[in-house]
Structure 1
Amino acid sequence: MNLRHLKYFVATAESGQVSRAATVLSISQSSVTSAIKELETILGTELFRRSAHGMELTDAGREFLSSSYEILEKVEEAKKLTQKKSSAGGVISLAATYTVLGYFLPYHLDRLSHLHPNLEIKLHELSRESIEEGLLANRFDMAMVLTSNLNNPELESETLLRSTRRLWASHSNPLSRQGKVHFEEIAEEDYIMLTIDEAAHTTMQYWGLTNFQPKVKLRTSSVEAVRSMVANNQGVTILSDMVYRPWSLEGKRISTVQTEYEIPSMDVGLAWRRGLEFNHAQTVLSDYFRQAFVSPQSQAPNIRNGIVKI
């Protein structure tokens, strides 16, 4: 057994499909299938139940998934111990929106604290409008935001991650078994509308490019409420891979399906006041994220589904 086995197993468990796991890992489906079979042989038990709907964890699979997370986390911790720590320091005031702070930043804040222990990051959670105002007023040095929502010409930004938006549906919903789904079909379903971080506005923008409208059953600022409603087959939604998790808090499965019409991605990145000359702390922060996401040698985790690449 090696880390490759664990990585492929976790990707399949989280995505629920070999095809999606292969896409996430940028490898062939046969490689994923072979690795899982090898792992099941080594462990002497089945980790998945195969069906037309995808790959569902067995009881043994659920237990092994927990162990796999622990192992991969320990490997990440070991890697941090061997990484060269920088003496670079300073203080930086960093603003972030709800989604970015909840689903993107924590891992990187941990890495930054290990790589640059003398760098102090002061965090502020605000709306996009308040962040833009704060950047222009010099209350914040930089911000981590949904760059796809920015529209202020006085700000500069650099996109680091483009997260695909897909339909979320209960595992028991017939739409979850389709390769691609049409907006006409989605419009027939009850729709759970997320409102945080301008999600509702963005949703109506891309729905406006179709001939249909969502049949909104609930508007909520809670991602977990959306997840639970969808998992319990109370409606469907369209959200990005970055906030997707395959299970609700009740342990019910959520499937994702591509839409026939390509929906604009949710983009995450850094923003700052136009013309700003970076000080040392700002340079350290921006260089870290560029190396993690922009350079070909990117070592960042796969944020789309919470899978850590080893």
Structure 2
Amino acid sequence: MALSLKQLRYFVATAEAGQVSQAAVNLAISQSAVTTAIKDMEETVGAALFERAAHGMDLTIAGRQLLSQAYDILQKVEEMTKLALPASDVEGSLTVAASYTVIGYFLPQHMERLRRQFPGITIKLFELNRESVEEGLLTNRYDIAVMLTSNILNSELTTEKLLSSARRLWVPSRHRLLSLPAIGLKDVAEEDYIMLTVDEASHTSLKYWSQTPYLPRITLRTSSVEAVRSMVANGQGVAVLSDMVHRPWSLEGRRIETINLSDPVPSMDVGLAWRRNVEFSPAMMAFRSYFRRAFHLPD
């Protein structure tokens, strides 16, 4: 029996969530549907894909290998179905500013698709911090930006949100907090905390912490997401970061779990920004149109 795309999606959701119950919630389906899909997949490939444990589901070696292939397959299917747009004859040049997180975890696949979709558009991409992006847009140094719109402060800029990425608590596999029924910032404050600083992450973090009587017990501030990932996976602290930068495994192959927090934590919003009242060129219109279609925004 061949594997189906539905099974692959259920398998990926379970691998990322680390629990059948949470995967079912994320997929808005029953737990039994997820369990059955995984069981059928294991029978098809002839190997166990997960090790069942009290805290959830850990990928086996075969499961890790299949996860990598599943990501590739689902990405290709998405390109074929959701983003198979007709070629465009729009020509021109475009200067695009973007922040570190956006360039590292959001833009690469879209830049590839944009070049295929609009071969006549030359895109020059610049990585900058928020202040430099805002200043560059206002002085016409850049035509448009892709950035964390939830951080933008200047009222002279127009923004258009593409997606909201929830922020959750990152903990290592088998961490004590995974056994608690509800986790709040009070519980997080009792743990060593790894603070990400890039793209004003520390400023955003302290804003929602300031709404509580607690403060994180920061043991390290770093601009490296990979450093946070490795330190959390190795049990050296916890962190609250967005789903967009989350990966279930560290570079060392150790698992990172996520926990929904009971206290309100704002999402990380990614979107487009441009100078208010700017006249859109054909290249700018094509760029914006691509992202609106990709994220199903109304025309």
TM-score by length of 1: 0.90
**2:260 equivalent in structure 1:** 258
Question: Could you tell me which amino acid in structure 2 is paired with residue 61 of structure 1?
Answer: G
User: In terms of mean alpha carbon deviation, does 7-16 or 281-290 score higher?
Assistant: 7-16
**2:94 equivalent in structure 1:** 92
Among residues 58, 62, 68, which one is paired with 2:60 in the alignment?
58
Give deviations 1:93-138, integer Å, cap 9, x for gaps: 1000000110011111111112211122110000000000000000
8 Å contact 1:163–1:267 — kept in the other structure? yes
Shift in alpha-carbon separation, 1:264–1:69, aligned structure 2, 3 A: closer
> Could you say what secondary structure the match of 2:260 adopts?
strand
* C-alpha separation in 2, matches of 1:36 and 1:135: 49
Matches within 5 A, 1:294-305: 294-295=296-297
Matches within 5 A, 1:278-289: 278-289=280-291
Q: Aligned-pair distance for 1:269?
A: 0.3
Q: Aligned-pair distance for 1:83?
A: 4.4
Among residues 115, 126, 129, which one is paired with 1:127 in the alignment?
129
**1:234 equivalent in structure 2:** 236
**1:248 equivalent in structure 2:** 250
Question: Could you tell me which amino acid in structure 1 is paired with residue 255 of structure 2?
Answer: R
Q: Aligned-pair distance for 1:281?
A: 0.6
- Aligned length, in residue pairs: 297
> Could you say what secondary structure the match of 1:6 adopts?
helix
Q: Aligned-pair distance for 1:80?
A: 9.3
* C-alpha separation in 1, matches of 2:292 and 2:85: 17
**1:21 equivalent in structure 2:** 23
**2:166 equivalent in structure 1:** 164
Give deviations 1:184-217, integer Å, cap 9, x for gaps: 1111111100000000101100000011011110
User: In terms of mean alpha carbon deviation, does 106-115 or 232-241 score higher?
Assistant: 106-115
* C-alpha separation in 2, matches of 1:226 and 1:279: 40
**1:174 equivalent in structure 2:** 176
> Could you say what secondary structure the match of 1:27 adopts?
coil
* C-alpha separation in 2, matches of 1:266 and 1:53: 28
* C-alpha separation in 1, matches of 2:29 and 2:106: 24
User: In terms of mean alpha carbon deviation, does 26-35 or 215-224 score higher?
Assistant: 26-35
8 Å contact 1:178–1:257 — kept in the other structure? no
User: In terms of mean alpha carbon deviation, does 186-195 or 63-72 score higher?
Assistant: 63-72
Give deviations 1:208-235, integer Å, cap 9, x for gaps: 0011011110000011111111111111
Structure 2 runs not aligned, ≥5 long: none
**1:37 equivalent in structure 2:** 39
Shift in alpha-carbon separation, 1:137–1:177, aligned structure 2, 3 A: same
8 Å contact 1:172–1:233 — kept in the other structure? no
* C-alpha separation in 1, matches of 2:84 and 2:293: 18
8 Å contact 1:119–1:281 — kept in the other structure? yes
Among residues 107, 111, 121, which one is paired with 2:109 in the alignment?
107
Q: Aligned-pair distance for 1:44?
A: 2.6
Structure 1 runs not aligned, ≥5 long: 298-310
Question: Could you tell me which amino acid in structure 1 is paired with residue 99 of structure 2?
Answer: T
Matched, 1:199 2:201: yes
* C-alpha separation in 1, matches of 2:77 and 2:162: 25
Question: Could you tell me which amino acid in structure 1 is paired with residue 242 of structure 2?
Answer: S
Identity %: 57
**1:305 equivalent in structure 2:** none
Q: CA RMSD for the aligned pairs?
A: 2.0
User: In terms of mean alpha carbon deviation, does 113-122 or 89-98 score higher?
Assistant: 113-122
